[in-house]
Amino acid sequence: MRTAPISALLGTAFAFAIGGAPTLPGHAADPLPSWNDGKAKQSVLAFVAKVTTQGSPDLVPIAARIAVFDNDGTLWAEQPMYFQLAFALDRVKALAPQHLEWKDQEPYASLLKGDVKGALAGGERAMLGVIMSTHAGMTTEEFEKIVTDWVATAKHPVTKRPYTEMVYQPMLELLAYLRANGFKTYIVSGGGIEFMRPWTERVYGIPPEQVVGSSIKTAWAWRDGKPALMRLPDVNFIDDKAGMPVGIQQHIGRRPIAGFGNSDGDLQMLQWTTAGSGARFALLVHHTDAAREWAYDRASSIGRLDQALDEAQAKGWTVVDMKHDWKTIFPQ
């Protein structure tokens, strides 16, 4: 058991409030307190100063300060499986009583026995079926409620935390810092757009209209005398790899000046972001901290970081070494 003075436990904010603390200008003004001083933090601060300082040759008008963030592995964790997959598996269990045939049908039979590895053996096509049977067949508003309820109650299998507390504290600070400097922050993720929207405003401060993601088709329909949008079991758009710049153009209609990712799936988004004229910024989160989070890169089936890591090194993009660059990983 550790002991500490009350002021340390309560933090300097409280000490300031009661008027007893010495002034610590540099420390108090730090917009990224969970980032250790180092190349990664300095590169972020230098870029923001460059594009926002009046008289700077690299000054960017506020309307063009667009920053795009991947979600899985960049803003929240993605191990031991993508959180949306955990959601789909929970939905299979919840829906099983209405689908007695699943007991004898793969990959559902394996999933219902808790054998995720066996289920994944069916490959992408089998999992796409699982996604469709759990994400389609209801209205957009019904799906929003299902996601909201799940996010409020589901717990991560390893940490037992709610999934929305498995977000990276340093990235929350970065989002707030960019917005305080006139940036519009967007999520651009391979995850489902309607799986993210119900909670991104509360958790990240990113409203639904600034979320870009993969989607299934929807169709206009009348239900009980009211119009509804029905979710159909049919892929509409995959916002991954070369799809990311396509999704950015569809939704935003201008090229971002800063991009943040963590895997090869984000490479084209970073290439598109950095190929524009004027000051540009690209950052990769490298998962190097097996003790506090997970350590994985070139050989991982989830969030593989291989080609993008080579390109980051060749092009001088910022690479965050989670173990050394981040003081804390998750919010307290």
Q: Are 128 and 119 in contact (CB under 8 A)?
A: no
Comparing CB distances to its own copies, the nearer of 32 and 193 is: 193
Q: Is 275 a binder of its own copies (CB under 8 A)? A: yes
Of 92 and 193, which has the nearer Cβ to its own copies?
A: 193
Q: Is 226 in the site for its own copies (CB under 8 A)?
A: yes
Least distance in Å: CB of 229 to its own copies? 6
Is 148 one of the binding residues for its own copies (CB under 8 A)?
no
Q: Which of 229, 238, 295, 302 binds its own copies (CB under 8 A)?
A: 229
CB of 196 to its own copies, least distance (A): 9
277 binds its own copies (CB under 8 A): no
Q: Binder to its own copies among 134, 214, 268, 288 (CB under 8 A)?
A: 268
Strands laid side by side in the 318-321 sheet: 226-237, 211-223, 184-192, 66-69, 258-261, 281-286, 318-321
314 binds its own copies (CB under 8 A): no
**Does residue 250 interact with its own copies by CB under 8 A?**
yes
216, 135 contact by CB (below 8 A): yes
Near its own copies by CB under 8 A: residue from 74, 218, 263, 318: 218
Question: Given the rule CB under 8 A, which of 42-50, 201-209, 280-288, 324-332 is the region that contacts its own copies?
Answer: 201-209
Residue whose token pair is 């490479």: 267
The pair phi, psi for residue 243, each rounded to 5°, is -75, -25
Rounded Cα distance, 279 and 253, in Å: 19
What does residue 286 show for φ and ψ, rounded to 5 degrees? Answer: -105, 120
Q: How many other β-carbons are positioned within 10 Å of the β-carbon of residue 80?
A: 13
Task: Rule CB under 8 A: choose which of 131, 211, 257, 329 binds its own copies.
Answer: 211
* 249 binds its own copies, rule: CB under 8 A: yes
Provide the strand spans (E) within the chain: 66-69, 184-192, 211-223, 226-237, 258-261, 281-286, 318-321
Residue 237 is which amino acid?
F
The two structure tokens encoding residue 230: 């029905």
Q: Does 245 bind its own copies (CB under 8 A)?
A: yes
d(CA 240, CA 244): 5
Whole-number minimum distance, CB 329 to its own copies, in Å? 29
The contacts of residue 80 (CB under 8 Å, 6+ apart) are: 157, 158, 302
**2 is a site residue for its own copies (CB under 8 A):** no
Which of 176, 246, 279, 295 is the binder for its own copies (CB under 8 A)? Answer: 246
307 scored as a contact of its own copies (CB under 8 A) = no
Q: How far is the CB of 326 from its own copies (least distance, A)?
A: 30
Residue 194 found at the interface with its own copies (CB under 8 A): yes
Residue recorded with tokens 């119009």: 227
- Give the count of residues interacting with its own copies (CB under 8 A): 32
Preceding peptide of 80 cis, ω within 30°: yes
Q: Which chain residues interact with its own copies by CB under 8 A?
A: 63, 140, 184, 193-194, 197, 201, 207-209, 211, 215, 218-220, 226-227, 229, 242-243, 245-246, 249-254, 268, 271-272, 275
